Amino acid sequence: MSTRKSIDRFLSNKNIAVIGVSSKGRGFGVAVYEQLKYAGYKVFGVNKNGGKINNEIMFKSLGEISSKVDAVVTVIPPPETEKIIDEMKMLSINQIWMQQGSESKEAIEKCKSNGSNVINGECILMFVEPVKSFHSFHRWINKLIGKYPN
């Protein structure tokens, strides 16, 4: 489980790339992208095939983004996350949130050996304020049963 301190450190970054945003406008990557934008973050959608989301161009890789990227959220299969970590290292990005299902033991260890702040085992939608709908209820349950990071 990630600590609240590491989660707050991640969320203090304002330029975030979301890896795994679907150009079809649905899916968890899109939900993360939209919630971060709604919360006031500068968000970059990344999809290896490119495309658009809400009339905004999605980048095919982190390296295509000309603006500063402070942090990365992965919503992709674990082998792809492991490749993103190499790209992050080259770009000096050391903040990563591996959404559940995108992490692997290898990816987590690789990030830690690079000195990165790694969040895993947590849903970012339970922490980006304002927390909405189902995620608000899920957060309340986790607090009730002691599974919400302090």
Q: Using CA atoms, how far apart are residues 24 and 3, in angstroms rounded to an integer?
A: 34
Nearest-Å Rg of the Cα atoms of the chain is 14
The whole-model pTM stands at 0.90
Give me the pLDDT at residue 143, please. 65
Q: Using CA atoms, how far apart are residues 23 and 4, in angstroms rounded to an integer?
A: 32
Both tokens of residue 77? Answer: 């299969």
pLDDT tens across 59-93, in order? 999 999 999 999 999 999 999 999 999 999 999 99
Residue ranges in the chain modelled with pLDDT below 50: none
Burial class of residue 24, CB neighbours in 10 A (0-12, 13-18, 19+)? exposed
Give me the pLDDT at residue 126, please. 85
**Which among 146, 89, 88, 148 has a CA at the least distance from the CA of 123?**
148
